Amino acid sequence: MAGDLMSRRMVLFLLSSIAAFSNFFLLFAVVPLYASRSDAATVSAGLATGAMMLGTVLTELVTPGLLSRLGFRNAMALGILMLGVPTIGMIASDDTALILVISLLRGAGLAILVVAGTSLAAELSPTGRRGEGLGVYGLAVSVPAILALPAGIWLSKHLGFDGVFGISIATALLALLFVPQLPDQRPEGEQQHNMLLTLRQGSIARLTLIFGATTLTSGVVVTFLPLALGEDARNTASLALLLQACAVSLTRWLGGRLGDRFGADRLLMPFLLLTAIGTLLLTRTGSPGVIVTGMLLFGIGFGAVQNLTLSMMFARAPRGEFSNVSALWNLAFDAGMGVGAVGFGLVADRTGYAWGFAVIAAIIFAALIPTWRDRQSRMARAAAGSELSS
């Protein structure tokens, strides 16, 4: 029943998450713009984003242990506070060093929020509808990515930087209003802080690598697609990125719903193939129609792959290791985006953008091999189990 999925706690959790991620995305592109007012504009802007991602990745490594000590409610509150409160410092000063420290702290807050949020979404979802519950959570937190990201840039032009900083702080306070209604329990089990133990499970390690291969493209397109298409095709790049973001949001929910009904392991390979084909089409940088089609196909595939891999990882781990699974999945996401952007830049600098996209597509195509083997292994075990039971 739909009511079983959208419980009161789930609704309040989703509202808190939307407000918290609005804080993050309002400033995602604004902070680099704010930092770029210094003498070393490009360097400062890059360092601001780099500091935030560094704080995110490092904190994700320790968040499972933090969850076991604080519980979901307190961890969510801490993540929201670390996103919102440091922003006050940027209203007081535009010193580059201060901006980097604030970005580092906000990245740490984001890490706590995404790991705790993903774990809590799984905890609040009925077991038989966990994929759909994760999809609803993914759809909810995608709304700020679509709306708040451009809104932050618009607000900074019309209200100034202090205005958008103030609005972002208000969204954090709004997110905090819902936190007291969230569950206070800690993740079950004694291994929730040991990610290596979870990663030693071959099936979970495979899924982490498979998902990480797809996130390479995500980091690349946001960073390099406008550059690859050139100044005259910026409208094409904007349209392509918008369609991709909308498609990811929709299929992250739809993928969970279909996965619950037909089995996530059955759907992973076709959606992974769609992701690879969409990436390959991006090699046609001189054809706007092909680029838009490629980004749409990539978005459809990538959104579903996000949900399917996460659902499968949760299904294969004991409930006491859910926070480990959440941390591993989010690490694959953030590390894949970072590695993809850096690696693509090195390749494209020597070969051009088209060959860079081809290399990324080849990596995703290669990920089809462990995906197929994983599916065959699961089918073989299921068959052996049915023979024993008969």
| CA separation for the pair 355, 367 (Å, rounded) | 19
Answer whether 0.85 is exceeded by the pTM.
no
Say whether 194-383 and 8-181 share the same fold.
yes
Task: Spell out a b/e string for 3-32, using b for 16 or more CB atoms within 10 Å of the CB, else e.
Answer: eebeeeebebbbbbbbbbbbbbbbbbbbbb
R_g (Cα) of the chain, nearest Å = 21
Residue with tokens 């995703």: 364
> Please, what sign has the CA dihedral across residues 299, 305, 311, 317?
negative
Which of 14-18, 112-116, 182-186, 377-381 holds the top average pLDDT? Answer: 14-18
> Please, what sign has the CA dihedral across residues 328, 150, 287, 298?
positive
Domains of the chain, by residue range, sit at 8-181, 194-383
Give tens-digit pLDDT for 185-197. 776 654 455 666 6
Among the listed residues 181, 160, 120, the one whose alpha carbon sits nearest the alpha carbon of residue 30: 160
Residue 40 reports pLDDT greater than 80: no
Residue 41 reports pLDDT greater than 60: no
CB atoms inside a 10 Å sphere around CB 199: 16
Q: Residue 190: its pLDDT value, please?
A: 44
Q: What is the CATH number of domain 194-383?
A: 1.20.1250.20
User: If phi over 0 gives left and psi between -120 and 50 gives alpha, with beta otherwise, what is residue 352?
Assistant: left
User: Confidence class of residue 323 from pLDDT cuts 50, 70 and 90?
Assistant: confident
Among the listed residues 46, 24, 51, 200, the one whose alpha carbon sits nearest the alpha carbon of residue 112: 24
CB atoms inside a 10 Å sphere around CB 231: 7
Q: Residue 1: its pLDDT value, please?
A: 40
Give tens-digit pLDDT for 330-360. 888 877 877 777 777 778 778 888 998 999 9
> Please, what sign has the CA dihedral across residues 268, 22, 57, 215?
positive
Q: What percent of the chain has pLDDT over 70?
A: 89
Among the listed residues 78, 89, 85, the one whose alpha carbon sits nearest the alpha carbon of residue 113: 78
Which of 75-79, 130-134, 317-321 holds the top average pLDDT? Answer: 75-79
Q: Residue 361: its pLDDT value, please?
A: 94
Per-residue CA distances from 318 to 29, 153, 204, 308, 375 (Å): 38, 43, 12, 17, 20
- Chain center to CA of 50: 16
Residue 216 reports pLDDT greater than 90: no
Residue 230 reports pLDDT greater than 80: no
**Contact by Cβ (8 Å): 107, 167:** no
Residue with tokens 């499970």: 201
Residue bearing the bigger pLDDT, 147 or 19:
19
> Which has the minimum average pLDDT: 167-171, 309-313, 381-385?
381-385
Mean pLDDT within 302-325? 85
| CA separation for the pair 152, 20 (Å, rounded) | 14
**Contact by Cβ (8 Å): 219, 337:** yes
Q: Residue 2: its pLDDT value, please?
A: 43
Q: What percent of the chain has pLDDT over 90?
A: 30
Residue bearing the bigger pLDDT, 33 or 84:
84
Torsion angle, alpha carbons of 257, 295, 243, 299, to 10: 20
As to burial, measured by CB atoms within 10 angstroms (0-12 exposed, 13-18 middle, 19+ buried), residue 163 is middle
Give tens-digit pLDDT for 49-70. 778 878 888 898 888 888 888 8
User: Confidence class of residue 387 from pLDDT cuts 50, 70 and 90?
Assistant: low
Place domain 8-181 in its CATH homologous superfamily: MFS general substrate transporter like domains (1.20.1250.20)
User: Confidence class of residue 162 from pLDDT cuts 50, 70 and 90?
Assistant: very high
Where would I find the H helices in the chain? 2-5, 8-28, 30-35, 41-84, 87-92, 96-124, 130-158, 160-178, 195-199, 202-229, 234-262, 264-281, 288-316, 322-351, 353-389
And the tokens for 80? Answer: 């929201």
Residue 132's Cβ-side half-sphere holds a number of Cα atoms within 13 Å equal to: 15
As to burial, measured by CB atoms within 10 angstroms (0-12 exposed, 13-18 middle, 19+ buried), residue 207 is buried
Residue 43 reports pLDDT greater than 50: yes
Mean pLDDT of all residues in the chain? Answer: 83
